[in-house]
Amino acid sequence: MDLLENCIDMNPEVQALIKGFEPDSKKPKERYSQFLAYCYYSLDKMINNHKFKDFDREALIKYILAHRVEITAELSK
């Protein structure tokens, strides 16, 4: 599967998180690590504010971990 196809098929919640993410680092590995922390805290805030009622944070984090290459490429744009 082409990298561009992976980005098009990317989880919409992850796409929204990527759009709101502002990294401090220019290094892809550090940027990805910062993104993971950003996701965890953003999801925690959204869940605590009841923006997501039946949201599976664990499944989204697993998705992010499984699609590291695609997400890192998207963060590097």
- Residues 7-23 have pLDDT tens digits of 446 778 788 888 899 98
For 1-77, where are the alpha helices, taking DSSP H only? 3-8, 12-20, 28-48, 57-66, 68-75
Indicate the number of domains in the chain. Answer: 1
Predicted confidence band at 4 (pLDDT cuts at 50, 70, 90)?
very low
- Say what the pTM is: 0.72
For residue 71, give its domain range: 3-75
- 24-47 mean pLDDT: 86
DSSP letter at 10 equals S
> Whole-angstrom distance between the N-terminal and C-terminal Cα of the chain?
20
